[in-house]
């Protein structure tokens, strides 16, 4: 069974640590799925600078196939972050570099490659919206991370993306449960087959069009805690991997009996991610002079 992360990659610079790490929603998905035992690949655009080479080498070291990726002249994506009381605080970014300014365009050979996967994952940071119909038409299931910004979930944006999405992920933090259910219903009504919202310490809620299923957050060990980077990515990866293993497919929707254990596994995956530095390690010292 193979899954593919299609879209963004980035370098996360932790200013408080003086360390940079590879990351990006779609990269994290591919790496974490590989760590869970699946064959995985990443398809995206790297910058021609040393940061692009850094991210690519880290992904390759994790056993993820990057043979279909492209390198384009220009800067790789980079963010600046601090960790305050265990939570990541984003300070700025370069708008994704060439990943979003020169996004990946699928050709026939790429669509054939995507067809070999059980699921393709993308995100709002990938500039992949126009490619979603092609991804969907290739045959795999599609998961899509809408992140946390409300402007990424406008009615027009949902009409553009949700009809091509089998699993939509939202990050809604400490929003009241009624507001969470309202947002999940909006995304489902726009066309997504399933919609799930992560809520940090409050756990998660999934909506399949008939029922709202709640999942509490798994406990963590404060002595081992590193940061919350990648916890949402670990949750969605754990969720879709366990659902795929239970038989989820385009012609076989998951039942409540498969959704509940998958949600529990996803919560455990998110908790384990708290013990990992950044998204998946591979840290490298960075000089302050290289800041954005």
Distance CA 223, CA 204 (A): 24
State the Rg of the chain over Cα: 18
pLDDT of residue 17: 85
Q: 199-219 burial string, b = 16+ CB within 10 Å, else e?
A: bbebbbbbbbeeeebebebbe
The dihedrals phi and psi of 142, each to the nearest 5 degrees, come to -130, 125
pLDDT of residue 86: 65
Q: Rounded to an integer, what is the distance from CA 63 to the centroid of its chain?
A: 18
pLDDT of residue 249: 95
pLDDT of residue 289: 47
Query: What's the CATH architecture for 2-282?
Result: 3-Layer(aba) Sandwich (3.40)
Residue 154, exposed/middle/buried by CB under 10 A (0-12, 13-18, 19+)? exposed
CA dihedral of 63, 87, 17, 57, whole degrees rounded to 10: 10
Q: Comparing C-alpha atoms, which of 144, 118, 111, 205 is closest to residue 8? A: 144
- Looking from the CA of 210 toward its CB, the CA atoms found within 13 Å total 5
Q: Comparing C-alpha atoms, which of 138, 100, 146, 145 is closest to residue 119? A: 138
The 3-class secondary structure across the chain, one letter per residue, is CEEEEEECCEEEEECCCCEEEEECHHHHHHHHHHHCCCEEEEEEEEECCHHHHHHHHHHHHCCCECCCCEEECCCECEEEEEEECCEEEEEEECCCEHHHHCCCCCCHHHHHHHCCCCEEEEECCCCCHHHHHHHHHHCCEEEEECCCCHHHHCHHHHHHHHHHCCEEEEECCCCCHHHHHHHHHHHHHHCCCEEEEECHHHCEEEECCCCEEEECCCCCCCCCCCCCCCHHHHHHHHHHHHHHHCCCECCECCCHHHHHHHHHHHHHHHHHHCCCCCCCCCCEECCHHHCC
CB 118 within 8 A of CB 244: yes
Residues lower than pLDDT 50 in the chain:
289
pLDDT of residue 73: 97
**92-147: per-residue pLDDT in tens?**
899 999 999 999 999 999 999 999 999 999 999 999 999 999 999 999 999 999 99
């Amino acid at each position: 069974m193979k899954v593919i992360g299609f879209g963004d990659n980035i370098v996360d610079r932790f200013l408080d640590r003086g360390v940079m790490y590879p990351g990006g929603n779609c990269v994290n998905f591919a790496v974490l799925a590989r760590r869970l035992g699946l064959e995985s690949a990443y398809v995206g655009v790297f910058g021609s600078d040393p940061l692009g080479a850094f991210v690519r080498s880290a992904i390759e070291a994790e056993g993820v196939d990057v043979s279909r990726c492209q390198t384009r002249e220009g800067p790789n994506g980079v963010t600046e972050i601090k960790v305050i009381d265990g939570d990541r605080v984003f300070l700025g970014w370069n708008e994704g570099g060439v990943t979003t300014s020169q996004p990946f365009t699928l050709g026939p050979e790429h669509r054939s490659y995507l067809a070999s996967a059980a699921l393709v994952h993308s995100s709002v940071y990938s500039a992949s919206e126009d490619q979603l119909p092609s991804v969907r038409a290739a045959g795999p299931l599609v998961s899509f991370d809408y992140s946390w910004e409300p402007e990424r979930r406008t009615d027009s944006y949902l009409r553009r993306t949700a009809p091509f999405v089998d699993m939509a992920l939202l990050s809604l933090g400490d929003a009241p449960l009624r507001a969470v259910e309202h947002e999940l219903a909006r995304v489902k009504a726009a066309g997504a087959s399933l919609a799930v919202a992560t809520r940090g310490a409050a756990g998660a809620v999934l909506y399949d069009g008939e029922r709202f299923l709640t999942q509490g957050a798994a406990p963590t060990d404060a002595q081992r805690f590193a940061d919350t980077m990648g916890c949402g990515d670990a949750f969605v990866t754990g969720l879709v991997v366990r659902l795929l293993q239970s038989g989820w497919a385009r012609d076989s929707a998951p039942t409540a009996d498969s959704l509940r254990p998958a949600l529990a596994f996803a919560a455990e995956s998110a908790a384990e991610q708290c013990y990992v530095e950044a998204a998946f390690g591979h840290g490298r010292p960075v000089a302050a002079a290289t800041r954005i």
